[in-house]
C-alpha cells in the first residue's frame, strides 16, 4: 500500500511516482509488467506497463476529489507468472 501526495493544479511533465517490483530471474522470466487492476481514473492517470511509472494525464482538483484509490499489479514473465 502506498500513499502518494500530489499538488493540485500542478503540471507534472515526468512521472509522479514509480512502482518497483523485483524478480531475481534472468532474461524474459525476470521482466515485470505493471497494470491497473481497478482504475476508475484512467482519464487522470497513465501507468507505463514496462517501467511502473505513474503519470498524470491532467491536473488534479482537490475540490472535485481529494483521494484516489486504485490497485496495480506487477506480474513477472516466468512460465508460471506471479503477482
Query: pLDDT tens digits, the chain, 83 residues: what are they?
Result: 788 898 888 888 999 999 999 888 777 778 899 999 987 888 999 999 999 999 999 999 999 999 999 999 999 887 765 65
What pLDDT sits at residue 23? 84
Is 27 strand, coil or helix? helix
What pLDDT sits at residue 82? 60
Alpha carbons 36 and 34: distance in angstroms, whole number: 7
Alpha carbons 36 and 5: distance in angstroms, whole number: 19
What pLDDT sits at residue 27? 79
- pTM to 2 decimal places: 0.84
Amino acid at each position: 500500500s502506498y500513499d502518494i501526495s500530489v499538488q493540485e493544479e500542478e503540471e507534472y511533465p515526468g512521472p509522479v511516482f514509480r512502482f518497483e517490483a523485483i524478480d531475481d530471474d534472468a532474461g524474459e522470466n525476470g521482466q515485470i509488467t505493471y497494470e491497473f487492476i481497478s482504475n476508475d481514473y484512467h482519464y487522470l492517470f497513465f501507468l507505463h506497463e514496462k517501467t511502473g511509472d505513474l503519470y498524470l494525464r491532467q491536473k488534479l482538483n482537490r475540490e472535485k476529489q481529494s483521494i484516489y484509490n486504485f490497485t496495480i499489479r506487477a506480474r513477472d514473465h516466468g512460465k508460471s507468472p506471479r503477482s
